[in-house]
Structure 1
């Protein structure tokens, strides 16, 4: 027995030693791709030496003799820190993910191939001005210079992920950067999904009830719409849940309601305590590790610029110079229209046009699939745009037999000059110059918030489709593509895009709210991204006569929910403090305790409080009870609380209180009954998850920011090292926005919000601040992988200074790039 024990002990010891050795070997190879920020490199493609100073937060400050050399160094720095992320973004735009991930990503590749984003990006290269083409060429040389160093010095394949997947890295091309902008356009628009959803709802409900569940922004003048059945009477209504975008984290298509968002506001010098204009901006995108954003400072010939870049794109997309600041929010411009195209029964290669039958434009495309046979698809285009298969976006559910669906979209341009606009924006010195640079912006459409030393402005940039006033669906639902008045009539001139320069109030703000109240077709959009956050912002702005950098930061980090403050008194009007205290341990007593907490709550969605969790769970259960009997499984598509729907119901606007009654039951339920039952539902579920004591529940336990690695974050064991999870405040409708996941099993997970925050003060530009939600490096073994994440969670910032000496004073490394002999 003793002998057996000795040998078992030796065996276990040997296994432990071998495991440790394996870990050390793995660490050695994986850490080889950690860049040395103090190394010097002799590289071809440079005209003169370049210095890359990485400050204490690993933000590169790039100094070169020419702009081309600076863009070269930016490409080099991007590749050092985010090479895997860049190559994955490029593969997504090209429709080549399946070469790495097999059949898992086949549907994603098929969709991006049908959009033909990369071909359009290649064609758009010729539309850029000479300076932009030089910038793109130089940036590509910089990326490729780092790839050459990786291969030359065996630097761990460039990133740890390449050990698990393919290590083939194609040279970076100028068109790749343009393709990433088109990929961003896909991530930032949700108009297509809105059209499908409205058509589905229109088939199930009368027009009055469609207005309840898909309400227009209050005050919006809306022309009468036909119901979808009148346009296509052969389409049968269906209550099946929508099958919209892929839930794969690699998919660039946003889930319903998860398209781009953002906040931006500005104060003119006369509304600033220090006498200089102020600007705050926090763009909202889906969280990921690393963040999509990368902080950088470029010393161009026109002056220094600093802010947030996206790896793969050679431009500071949001940021400032010494004299100008620029920020972006999603404009919610209606830039997409779906068309039902009739296929010729006698010839399936033709479709109907206003002048007769016409052949589809077709082209074969081969998708290479890892560990499977290649898949060949036929790309088809009509005059209106690419034909999309019914298997995507749930299009089959709204497509009549003998028809297909095509898409018109401003991003599908082969003369896309958005990259040139971004380069010119960095070189602009004044608000007027920046507005002029925005003229070349095509897609994604954005609200451009500007501030210089004299004033402020908001300009909608991006191509705005011109629709005929006789358009049958007003662009809100799919319409017959063979009717001329349904087709786009070109684009509006840039001067028709909404613009506001130096308003009398001295303040400008946008939270994706309605920006104009113009009649169709000049309306910009019927669907806006916010009706709630703007109310809180207006209240905060009115509290002060003048503002400071600190008051703008305070607004950016505000977590008080206007929605909670306005809805809770409505839905609980007949529930507060009713009846005598119920016995402990009963559902009635639990409800009374929850209502007592909510009654004393100020609506702050603080991570340490139980009230936000009770409120969110209550409204989620309430909305499901209100719509489930009318919509059936289609109710699953409404994953987030729609505040205007609940307000319409509980104010009984246009008879909307009819939603409170359960159609299938003999009893006529009142809205109070429904609210009470929904609260009981919510409390039961919360008790099962968090225990029986509501006072001990914490919103932050449920509302963790899920900044997950899109690939390794799903691997058991590795996920604990690469995913960044943090308890956070805020919710879908607070200024410090943290959009909840909305689906089980963790519906309150924070998955979409401000990956970048910046506040610029032109009374003292170098006192400006910024932050991103993870860290600068995409390497999980780097100390810069998540070092900024905790600052971001706590609402802290880092200095945003253009002072070169300040950057050098605490540099973590200085890289010298010199031209090769």
Structure 2
């Protein structure tokens, strides 16, 4: 190319291709300027929001100086954020546990202590007032304060060290540094100052545990409610007896009693154990409408307390132990999966607590599942023994209808004074509420909680013997509950952590007053066992525990002494090498004390036992994977009973018979992708609705769990039972009419929800696991709910199935309770054990550990559970060193 060759044209520049802003029309320039400002504000807002959300995330690496430590503590966390704490002293161990759990979950801890102290209204306003009134009336925190004086000095020291660790974390941190929920509350105008943690805050949470696992109080109210509507005989049909001929109890009742009973002569005069179990109990009275109204309102007052662990039939658990003679390793396997309510964060948090030198001064080498806010491990294992819990479900509550006159109440032939105290409840954005609490010797008057109950005296006058009723006179309802009597349950938890053998284990169980649990046991010496602990009342002959009692009758009282611990069911090394507990009857009908008559009917327990016995019968040696697989068994327990009735119905060919054809090839499993399970469960829901909703009030509509399997099982044998008839129609409906209509209605519903092609239906699309924060996550704020909640997992299982992802037939198909964790302990190699939590260890929505275990849980997978120091360190991702701060001079 010579100099005369013209140069090629220059490439156009981007800025020359677009008109310059200064050349735009004025309106366009204004619009652009506004848009830029909005974008910058949005970016700044997002950045600020991200900072606020992430600010509370804990430091998990490096070093921190903390005043109050004796020596250096290491906190090792694995890839799931699970902490393993190593310390030289018991004080430092619990101090560090308090610090770490406050790092991860202080908001949860703070809400719990507000709930158990009756102070939720301080945070959430009038919507929480009814809960606070009920809790204050029962006096949970007052009882916990008395318990603090009862526990052993070592337990009190552990509670104090734990509280000091929590407060070391809070020191110097504002509320928005601790949890994003405080930031959200601040945005609504609440300037909340976090109070220091106290030892009694930990003890009060044990009351919440006992409350949600308290036994048959709801059934007492439901019996009365149903009896008033349909009569006592038909109401009794809704509470079937335990099927001992089909489902085995945990132990043989006749061989487990080692204690004796002497009635409390002061309570009612001389009596004997004869009839205490209920055989000669006085029949329940015919409740008047006024009495029933009072009792039903009592149930509503009690229902105002939010479920802290969960609610409904789904509250149960599975546990079993297999002796070494049946295992691949030659030592026992122990499995446990408590079924509790679903929420974010999950109920449990995993932790390991390790004294560097295990001795009398520092006796802890333990790992497992804990409650944030409580020192120690609740369920897990140490170096020698493993243990698990399921809910024993004894009848530890009674509602007493009381005759009240002024400031006194009738007991026998005399009037006794009511005890009275005043509670002031602070209410956000509203005046304080002054609550007058009155108590009889049976317990606090729940009638003082509800405005409706406060006026029942005018509507339900007492007999003339007490004089003409005036305002405030008449019937009231008192609650007798073993958890309202102080007990050293906290001692039991820490003693379990230290147990070395069966004798230690039973000694610890002897202090476990509430909530009464089935305790399963295994040790590295090869022993397996079962122990029922708990404070279980002895009722006098007039009170059978199933119906509300009449407080003025001396024969309805409780004895001053509960069932002796030595008389509670216990078994070591059963002949068949198996211990199975899943909330079924603990003992046979010959057991001389009344534990309860409202057992879970045993469908889950029998399925577990049948599978284990089948494996043992063919000589199969069971391993950890076999135990995990059994925890995931999703066979429907009632399908074999109901299915023949569904298959013989004559439905129109085509649309309505499509679902029925699914059932012909259904394997009875409730996998998430099962079309047969979707149809069967929809039919079950509509069958319950068509059979019972026309005659029962909404508060006692069937939830569809194991009790209703028993109810319907009996009804299927009588095609003309009155329950089948719809009282709202002129005709007379029979069993088969109802079954056919349920099948039609299920087809219509699934067509709307899942589509016309029955082959494409999937149970998991109906049966979804939605995890929600129980406070702000249900506030109605779309922003808060999106930040805090995680929804939409499609899951297998169902109500009263071994894989107990429960649903409430009165509400829908969504999961209401589920295995809150799963664990399998291999006593031959503790490092070969497995565990998984429903959510994750963190309560912070910005944390990678908020729900990082959920997908594995849904898939039926578990995590390795390292215990020995070498295994723990191999799994470690982050190391945080806590060291004593230097004391200031002078």
Deviation, 1:249, is: 9.3
CA distance in 1, matches of 2:553, 2:418: 17
CA distance in 2, matches of 1:337, 1:170: 35
Structure 1 contact 202–227 (Cα < 8 Å) conserved: no
Matched ranges for 1:372-521 at <5 A: 372-389=430-447, 400-401=460-461, 402-414=474-486, 416-453=487-524, 454-468=526-540, 470-472=541-543, 474-489=544-559, 490-519=561-590
Deviation, 1:191, is: 1.8
Structure 1 contact 574–672 (Cα < 8 Å) conserved: no
Deviation, 1:458, is: 1.1
Q: Which residue in the other structure is 1:124 paired with?
A: 147
Superposed CA offset, 1:494-518 (max 9, x none): 0111112111010011111111124
Structure 1 contact 563–733 (Cα < 8 Å) conserved: no
Deviation, 1:520, is: 7.7
Q: Which residue in the other structure is 1:273 paired with?
A: 328
CA distance in 1, matches of 2:294, 2:395: 26
Residue of 344, 356, 381 corresponding to 1:320? 381
Indicate whether 1:356 and 2:356 are aligned. Answer: no
Structure 1 contact 291–774 (Cα < 8 Å) conserved: yes
CA distance in 2, matches of 1:229, 1:640: 28
Residue of 601, 624, 639 corresponding to 1:564? 639
Structure 1 contact 79–146 (Cα < 8 Å) conserved: yes
Structure 1 contact 249–710 (Cα < 8 Å) conserved: no
Deviation, 1:598, is: 1.1
Structure 1 contact 196–398 (Cα < 8 Å) conserved: no
SS in 2 for 1:461: coil
Matched ranges for 1:73-92 at <5 A: 73-92=96-115
Indicate whether 1:114 and 2:134 are aligned. Answer: no
Structure 2 contact 90–364 (Cα < 8 Å) conserved: no
Indicate whether 1:705 and 2:775 are aligned. Answer: no
Q: Which residue in the other structure is 2:713 paired with?
A: 647
Using the size of structure 1 for normalisation, the TM-score is 0.92
Q: Which residue in the other structure is 1:32 paired with?
A: 55
Residue of 746, 752, 773 corresponding to 1:688? 752
Structure 1 contact 238–397 (Cα < 8 Å) conserved: no
Q: Which residue in the other structure is 2:92 paired with?
A: 69
Aligned residues: 797
Indicate whether 1:731 and 2:798 are aligned. Answer: yes
Deviation, 1:175, is: 0.9
Deviation, 1:689, is: 2.1
Structure 2 contact 368–378 (Cα < 8 Å) conserved: yes
Unaligned residue ranges in structure 2 (runs of 5+): 1-23, 186-190, 246-276, 462-473
Structure 2 contact 404–410 (Cα < 8 Å) conserved: yes
Q: Which residue in the other structure is 2:12 paired with?
A: none
Report the RMSD for the aligned CA atoms in angstroms.
Answer: 2.6
Q: Structure 1 residues 242 and 379, CA, compared in 2 at 3 Å: closer, same or farther?
A: closer
CA distance in 2, matches of 1:21, 1:517: 68
Deviation, 1:528, is: 1.4
Deviation, 1:418, is: 0.3
Q: Structure 1 residues 458 and 408, CA, compared in 2 at 3 Å: closer, same or farther?
A: same
CA distance in 1, matches of 2:130, 2:590: 38
Q: Which residue in the other structure is 1:740 paired with?
A: 807
Q: Structure 1 residues 404 and 237, CA, compared in 2 at 3 Å: closer, same or farther?
A: closer
Deviation, 1:248, is: 7.9
CA distance in 2, matches of 1:390, 1:227: 28
CA distance in 2, matches of 1:515, 1:485: 26
Q: Which residue in the other structure is 1:586 paired with?
A: none
Superposed CA offset, 1:257-277 (max 9, x none): 35x311100011112121011
Q: Structure 1 residues 394 and 644, CA, compared in 2 at 3 Å: closer, same or farther?
A: farther
Deviation, 1:565, is: 2.7
Deviation, 1:245, is: 6.7
Deviation, 1:237, is: 8.1
Q: Structure 1 residues 245 and 651, CA, compared in 2 at 3 Å: closer, same or farther?
A: farther
Indicate whether 1:548 and 2:571 are aligned. Answer: no
Deviation, 1:113, is: 0.5
Deviation, 1:354, is: 2.6
Residue of 718, 724, 736 corresponding to 1:660? 724
Deviation, 1:110, is: 0.6
SS in 2 for 1:771: strand
Residue of 215, 228, 246 corresponding to 1:203? 228
Residue of 284, 294, 313 corresponding to 1:257? 313
Structure 2 contact 702–809 (Cα < 8 Å) conserved: no
Q: Which residue in the other structure is 1:282 paired with?
A: 337
CA distance in 2, matches of 1:103, 1:238: 23
CA distance in 2, matches of 1:262, 1:498: 18
Deviation, 1:478, is: 0.9
Deviation, 1:393, is: 13
Structure 2 contact 353–365 (Cα < 8 Å) conserved: yes
Q: Which residue in the other structure is 2:689 paired with?
A: 624
SS in 2 for 1:377: strand
Q: Which residue in the other structure is 1:717 paired with?
A: 783
CA distance in 2, matches of 1:693, 1:246: 45
Unaligned residue ranges in structure 1 (runs of 5+): 583-588
Superposed CA offset, 1:82-133 (max 9, x none): 0100000010000111111110100111111011000110111011111111
Structure 1 contact 239–634 (Cα < 8 Å) conserved: no
SS in 2 for 1:674: helix
Q: Which residue in the other structure is 2:348 paired with?
A: 293
Deviation, 1:543, is: 2.1
Superposed CA offset, 1:714-746 (max 9, x none): 3213323321221110011211111114444xx
Q: Structure 1 residues 247 and 466, CA, compared in 2 at 3 Å: closer, same or farther?
A: closer
Structure 1 contact 627–635 (Cα < 8 Å) conserved: no
